[in-house]
Amino acid sequence: MLSQTTRLGDDARRDSPERRYAMTYLDYAARGRNAGWRYVLALVLGFMFAVVVGGVALLPLQLGGVLSKDWMTAAQDPGQPVFFFLFNGVVFGLLLLGVALAVWWVQKKRPTDLLGWWSWRLFGLGGAVWLVALTAAALIDFAIAPSGFRISAGPGTPQLALAALAGLAFQTFAEEYIFRGHITQGLMVAIKKPLPAALVSGLIFGAVHLPNGPPQAASATVFGVIMAMIAIRTRGIAFTSGLHLVNNVFGAVVLVSAGDAFRGSPGLFSQDTPHLMWWDMAVGSVALLVVALLVRSARWLPEPAVPAQNAA
């Protein structure tokens, strides 16, 4: 007997291309056991795994004097980029591993199910498209307030670039895996409609960024909503992972904002234009929306092949 999700997928595949893509994403999400409490438990266990394993690994290093007394301060200081980015990479790597193991244990899903349909071509395309958008936005800001920009590259910039790329690769992929993979898939299973699922996913993503301040949280909410829509449209997190990685590396290495979480990092250029904060959010949101519309209307995306369902 066919499941309700499978019947919905069969009906949708006779419908518009957009709905066929959404239902292919839903086919991936429907694998395994999908009761709501299992999604919550998997997240809780994933976080617990990261905390416990991280604590067990750090304790002997601290007791043995390998870590300095102020290592926690250094781990939160972008001005010490090697330690800052590599430490954050380890934290997010542990979180990624923890959630993947919890999904396998609690939900009987393969960890790769949360990736959806993966394509390195889409990963590279997402990064390339967003690099163009970020460069254009930076040039617009420079034209408006050139006095707010300065060259900040120094001897530590090459080390910063390597450490940021390594650490942010884990951070951004973990966030995509959890938010556009695990959480958005769960919302699609529950709601069945892409836009409401993306809205709720974005609100959750924005709420996590509240400690960074209202502008950052608002920007993260818009970012989360549109990224969820793109993930659903592209059937997975490849495009969004490439975009997210370039977004964070650009902000940490190329153009470091004084109002961003990476402030103090010895990037190539720095920007101190607090009066453009909400303007930058608006420009970034419009750019993301344009990318989403381009993806939605793209004819180069192949017709989705329907993945086989796992037995529940």
The answer to the question of residue 305 being in a domain is no
Single pTM value for the model: 0.88
- Scanning the structure block, which residue is given the tokens 């307030």? 145
Q: Is residue 281 part of a domain?
A: yes
Please check whether residue 188 lies inside any domain of the structure.
Answer: yes
In a domain, 278, yes or no: yes
Model confidence at 210, pLDDT cuts 50, 70, 90, reads confident
Q: Which of 87-91, 243-247, 294-298 has the lowest mean pLDDT?
A: 294-298
Tell me the C-alpha distance between 280 and 140, whole Å. Answer: 10
195-218: average pLDDT: 90
pLDDT at 104 over 60: yes
The reported pLDDT for the residue numbered 302 is: 61
Q: How confident is the model at residue 303 (pLDDT cuts 50, 70, 90)?
A: low
Which has the closest alpha carbon to 29: 174, 175, 172, 197?
197
| pLDDT range class, residue 300, cuts 50, 70, 90 | low
As a whole number, mean pLDDT of residues 264-282 equals 90
Reply yes or no on whether the pLDDT at 220 is more than 60.
yes
pLDDT at 138: 96
Instruction: Give the pLDDT confidence score for residue 305 in this predicted structure.
Output: 52
pLDDT at 181: 96
Is 304 within the bounds of a domain?
A: no
141-159 average pLDDT score = 94
Q: Does the pLDDT at position 75 exceed 90?
A: no
Q: Is the pLDDT of residue 4 over 60?
A: no
Kindly state the percentage of the chain with pLDDT values over 70.
Answer: 87
Residues 126, 133: Cα–Cα separation, whole Å: 11
Q: Is residue 110 part of a domain?
A: yes
| Whole-Å CA distances, 123 to 73, 87, 291, 296 | 34, 25, 14, 16
Structural domain that includes position 36: 4-297
Q: Work out how many domains the chain is built from and give that number.
A: 1
- Counting residues of the chain whose pLDDT is more than 90, the rounded percentage is 63
Instruction: Return d(Cα 24, Cα 13) in angstroms, integer.
Output: 9
Task: List, for residues 151-182, the tens digit of each pLDDT value.
Answer: 999 888 999 999 999 999 999 999 999 999 99
In whole angstroms, give the CA distance from residue 142 to residue 151. 12
Give me the pLDDT at residue 128, please: 96
Asked if residue 23 lies in contact with residue 13, where contact means CB atoms within 8 angstroms, the answer is yes
Is 73 within a domain?
yes
Q: Which residue has the higher pLDDT, 180 or 302?
A: 180
pLDDT at 106 over 50: yes
222 contact partners, CB below 8 Å, separation of at least 6: 202, 206, 281, 284, 285, 288
Q: What is the pLDDT of residues 20-60, one digit of tens each?
A: 666 788 889 999 999 999 999 999 999 999 999 988 887 77
Reduced to 3 states (helix: H, G, I; strand: E, B; else coil), residue 298 is: coil
